[in-house]
Amino acid sequence: MVAKILDGKQIAKDYRQGLKDQVEALQAKGFTPKLSVILVGNDGASQSYVNSKKKAAEKIGMISEIVHLDVTATEAEVLGELKRLNEDETVSGILVQVPLPKQVSEQKVLEAINPAKDVDGFHPENIGKLYIDEQTFVPCTPLGIMEILNHADIDIEGKEAVIIGRSHIVGQPVSKLLLQKNATVTILHSRTKDMHKHLKDADIIVSAVGRPGLVTKDDVKEGAVVIDVGNTPDENGKLKGDVEYDEVKEIAGAITPVPGGVGPMTITMVLNNTLIAEKLRRGIE
């Protein structure tokens, strides 16, 4: 079997067109969504993500700003900027790019975001709501993965879904979303004794570890759906997923490439959540 390629770039393009139309409709009512991003320090990958989010927001007619603080910024300074954005009437959504420098507590900062502007879904109130199946802001990579599966009409109910990685940003929330769709979910992590045993039974694999070459053709059942969240630059700066793409695509039923798979959908879901934040505060829909 040769896998169907799940083209996240194309799915994202179509989805963003829909968002652009909705932004225009809001603008006709006098409202323009605004996404504010706090970036602390000079990490190259974080800078590039943040710039991509800003550009994507502007491309669909939103306003976007990057609040860039020095790598030496104190926790109080970051919290001060956050307070200002929380109270700023023109700001619909706020995102604090992580990781933060070590002198700034990530937990304290994420807890300080106004939950109604928390378009990343990282505030404990929003995480809690996700786990009791209430409507809330859901982290963007998991949401993007679900949209890819939905777009490709992939049946989730009753399927064995195996997630590699238990992060708060991807592994745990995507497990919850798959559970909501009635998959049987297994989470693998660094202390798992026999990853291969679990992977061989999987109908759906989501790998979110950041270790190129982790998932090989020997791990994958014929026809399985393989979602690769890894994006690790190699020595030439080329992004590598966790999955041995060339060999796994020969046996999987469907697979996301890297780049051009999950990445573009993450950014799309940031825009989606920002639009929702703006609509909610204006009492629209």
Report the binding-site residues for NADP(+): 165-167
Q: Which 3 state secondary structure label does DSSP give 80?
A: helix
Q: What angle do CA 260, 246, 250 make, to 5 degrees?
A: 110
The minimum distance between CB 59 and ligand GUN, in angstroms, equals 19
CB of 266 to ligand GUN, least distance (A): 6
Residues lying near ligand GUN in the complex (CB under 6 A): 95-98, 120, 140-141, 169, 266
> In this complex, which beta carbon is closest to ligand GUN, that of residue 159 or of residue 240?
240
Q: Please give the Cα distance from 182 to 159 (Å, whole number).
A: 8
Give the torsion sign (CA, 187, 170, 249, 225). Answer: positive
> Please, are residues 55 and 84 in contact by the beta-carbon 8 Å criterion?
no
Residue type, 252: A
Contact 200, 217 (CB under 8 A): no
Whether the CB-CB separation of 157 and 228 falls below 8 Å is answered with no
Whether 107 is catalytic is: no
The question of whether 53 is a catalytic residue gets the answer yes
Nearer to ligand GUN, 266 or 274 (CB): 266
Chain residue at closest Cβ approach to ligand GUN? 98
H or E element: which one contains 161? strand 160-164
CA geometry: angle 132, 138, 141, nearest 5 deg: 135
Task: Give the nearer residue to ligand GUN in terms of CB position, either 91 or 140.
Answer: 140
Shortest distance, position 81 Cβ to ligand GUN, whole Å: 14
Q: How far is the CB of 243 from ligand GUN (least distance, A)?
A: 19
Taking the least distance from each CB to ligand GUN, the nearer of 96 and 145 is 96
> Looking at beta carbons only, is 121 or 253 nearer to ligand GUN?
121
Give me the catalytic one of 118, 120, 219, 242: 120
Shortest distance (Å) from residue 24 CB to ligand GUN: 26
What does the DSSP assignment read for 27-96? HHTT---EEEEEEES--HHHHHHHHHHHHHHHHTT-EEEEEEE-TT--HHHHHHHHHHHHH-TT--EEEE
- Cβ atoms of 223 and 197 within 8 Å: the answer is no
Q: What b-and-e string marks burial along 100-112, b requiring 16 or more CB atoms within 10 Å of the CB? A: bbeebeeeebbeb
Residue of 54, 97, 117, 172 marked active site: 97
Residue ranges of the binding site: 165-167
Catalytic residues: 53, 97, 120
